[in-house]
Structure 1
Amino acid sequence: MEYMRIEDQFPRLNNCAVTLGKFDGIHRGHRKLMDKILERKKETGVQAVVLAFVSDRKTVLTNSERRDFLEHMGADILLECPLTSDIRHMKADTFVRQVLAGSLKASYVAIGEDFRFGFERKGTPEFLKKSGVKYGFEVEILLKEMDGSRKISSTYIREELAKGNMEKVSSLLGFDYFVSGIVEHGRGMGRREFFPTANLIPLPEKLLPPNGVYITLSSFGQEIYPGITNVGYKPTVGENFIGVESYLFDCEKNLYGKNCTVEFRKFLRKEQRFSSYEALKEQIQKDIRMGEEYFRRD
């Protein structure tokens, strides 16, 4: 997959099937859009192009995670377009004429029913459909994926993630929420005083669930280990940065420097300060038992 970040001008492409949006978490609704442009690619041989509008706020998937997802799904080109002042103030017709019809020469565009674009969000799906007739490209408007009576959206997912409702987040995304990174050396206290752990420091752009302890699965390539994970500052120990620290069941390997993906299954408890290391150790043992029971039932 070719990746381009829009700094000034959009690239000159030709005959593209395009989908547009923020693609924060690539949830079930986003994948419905992806399916459409990939279907058109298979039918006609056009390039499948994702135009993702990005901002500075924390996101469910980091930029690199989104790129990996879209490449795996089969996208040909990912255009990341920062929401600069120029983009925010570009009129809807100007965007269609200069970007979709002009630079990208789109032949097909797939959007969700609530997609909005252009200055003051005046670009509606209906406006885009009329513009397609004017400029010579097809527009398909897709109904939103639903969770009961509520539409699946990045906002909905962010709300549930903020509650630590990992089962609901997984259902809305269509996959387990995860944090990935390189296993780093901590201060060694886990190995000396408590239990050996794998430590990750998430990227600043990663939107995290509430600080606390979770039941998780950690993957190192083809090796997968169930375990429990603490997200937060470890107040009893006194870290000054937020980390993701996992105790892996039945793993004695040296994992430092390895790539790790931690998938979150269930929230157990909030992060808290304990009166002593012994009290903390006793609670961790309880957390481990709850995690082991979860996987026995699963």
Structure 2
Amino acid sequence: MIFLRVVTVGVFDGVHIGHVEILSRLKRLAEEFNSTSEIYTIVFPMEYYKGHFDGLLIPLEDRITLLEVYGEVFPLELNEIKDIDASKFFEIISKDTKGIVVGKDFRFGKNAKGDISLLEKLCKKKNIKLEVVNDLTENGKRVSSTLIRKLIKEGNIKLANKLLGRAYPVYGKVYKDKQLGRKLGFPTANIRRHKELVIPKFGVYLSKVYTPKLYFGLVNIGLRPTVEKTKNVKYEVYIFDFNENIYGKEIRVELLEFLRAEEKFKNINDLINRMKEDEKLAKKILEEKYAS
């Protein structure tokens, strides 16, 4: 028995609101044809191989989890497909296929020579329904993973969250560091994060923290210029109204608002006073915007 399918191909990093348009259309088309939906996600975009890539928005395993809501997921390594001729690549993805759904910027085949015009001709020959999804825009700019990475690097976390369709996550396993926060009166959970991910703008963020229980808190991202200049980026989470041992546990932090950029203070007392102001401002924002 031949099982028919509908397919889509793309990187889908972050699975943002533009991707959701494509994926939702894919799912509807699969229902229309009573077929399976298959999603081919390219692990890293071309920029990664060219050496000027800011990092993924989320780890691949999380991308797959989000994509699985819409169909069966198959990761593709770009190096394994980038030299395949456009027509040959189409033959691979069009086997037993009733429909193809892509974004309007979709390119395929060696040197990205395959475009929507070619895809339309090839689909017509094989009687495959092609749906091309128009871009979503925000203030005249196309919603894309590249744009969201740029916003995160600039600290524009509120707009980044809007385009993602959810709060941007920073998470990892809590490890024991030098306990500098505790000595300053602000005990923090230090987390190790995937190295291939985009690094947000250095500074202090109001955040949700899941331990897995929900709390609010502050996250400082940076190099600790006042107390010790480190080479590796530190992710330090100060959780409000929390006093538990979570070393070795995974916690999830969602960045809500960027409060201020990282600073080098003249002395420790100035740093402590600023941290107190940060906490006061964060709790004021929580009362005004996030109180249930």
Give the structure-2-normalised TM-score. Answer: 0.89
Q: Give yes or no for the alignment of 1:142 onto 2:133.
A: yes
1:34 match: 23
1:87 match: 81
Greater shift after overlay, 256-265 or 163-172?
256-265
Q: Is the 8 A contact 2:207 2:257 kept in 1?
A: yes
1:296 match: 287
Structure 2 residue runs of 5 or longer lacking an equivalent are none
Once the two structures are TM-superposed, the CA of residue 70 in structure 1 deviates from its matched residue by 1.8
For residues 184 and 273 of structure 1, the distance between their equivalents in structure 2, rounded to whole angstroms, comes to: 24
Q: Is the 8 A contact 1:216 1:228 kept in 2?
A: yes
Q: Is the 8 A contact 2:24 2:70 kept in 1?
A: no
Please give the per-residue CA displacement for 1:108-166, whole angstroms capped at 9, x wherever unaligned.
11101111122232211221122112234221111111213222112221221221101
2:63 to 53, 63, 66: 66
2:160 match: 169
2:247 match: 256
Give me the identity figure in percent. Answer: 29
For residues 42 and 139 of structure 1, the distance between their equivalents in structure 2, rounded to whole angstroms, comes to: 15
Q: Give yes or no for the alignment of 1:224 onto 2:214.
A: yes
1:244 match: 235
Once the two structures are TM-superposed, the CA of residue 26 in structure 1 deviates from its matched residue by 0.8
Aligned pair count reads 279
Q: Tell me which amino acid in the other structure corresponds to 2:89.
A: F
Q: How does 1:101-180 map to 2 (within 5 A)?
A: 101-102=94-95, 105-180=96-171
Q: How does 1:207-218 map to 2 (within 5 A)?
A: 207-218=198-209
Q: Which runs of 4+ in 1 moved over 4 A?
A: none
Please give the per-residue CA displacement for 1:222-260, whole angstroms capped at 9, x wherever unaligned.
x11111111112122323321211111111222222221
Q: Tell me which amino acid in the other structure corresponds to 1:16.
A: R
2:37 to 39, 48, 51: 48
Q: Is the 8 A contact 2:33 2:98 kept in 1?
A: no
Give the structure-1-normalised TM-score. Answer: 0.88
Q: Is the 8 A contact 2:11 2:42 kept in 1?
A: yes
Q: Is the 8 A contact 1:201 1:242 kept in 2?
A: no
1:206 match: 197
2:6 match: 17
Secondary structure of 1:183's aligned partner:
strand
For residues 227 and 66 of structure 2, the distance between their equivalents in structure 1, rounded to whole angstroms, comes to: 36
Q: Is the 8 A contact 2:26 2:70 kept in 1?
A: no
Secondary structure of 1:108's aligned partner:
strand
Once the two structures are TM-superposed, the CA of residue 45 in structure 1 deviates from its matched residue by 3.8
